[in-house]
Amino acid sequence: QVQAVESGGGLVQAGGSLRLSCTVSGMPFRVLNMGWFRQAPGKEREGVSCITGLGDTTYYSDSVKGRFTISRDNAKNTLNLEMNSLKPEDTAMYYCSAVTMSSLSCREVNYWGQGTQVTVSS
């Protein structure tokens, strides 16, 4: 049974920070490239940031470069996203999933979990 549980979302003021976490089970986590995706109402699902299994390659969308940092702890089967300098346009439901990727692109392979809501107030 593949399972992913996202957590860490919440309501924060513009300029603030949040750390999202995704805990996975039922997957060979350490060998999977993983990523964070987000979707706001009426908007398309967007790849935010991705990381290879060993953490040697990362991807960031242009909108979050310099503000977000992706990391993973393979010993704990967790994927993290440190979000700084948050903007109202970051407001969305955030999801984690396995991905195919390079440093310039990322595409999710699966749709997992219920997501965690991030709301940034102006």
DSSP string computed for 31-63? GS-EEEEEE-TTS--EEEEEE-TTSS-EEE-TT
* Torsion angle (degrees, nearest 10) of CA 6, 76, 61, 115: -10
Is residue 103 over pLDDT 90? yes
Beta strand 10-13 pairing with 116-121: parallel
pLDDT reported for residue 113: 86
Whole-number Å distance between alpha carbons of 105 and 102: 5
pLDDT reported for residue 27: 87
Q: What are the pLDDT digits (tens) for 107-116?
A: 999 878 899 9
pLDDT reported for residue 110: 81
Neighbours of 60 (CB within 10 A): 20
- Token pair 């967790």 is found at 78
Q: What are the pLDDT digits (tens) for 24-77?
A: 998 899 999 999 999 999 999 999 999 999 999 999 999 999 999 999 999 999
DSSP helix/strand/coil, 90: helix
Averaged pLDDT, 92-96: 97
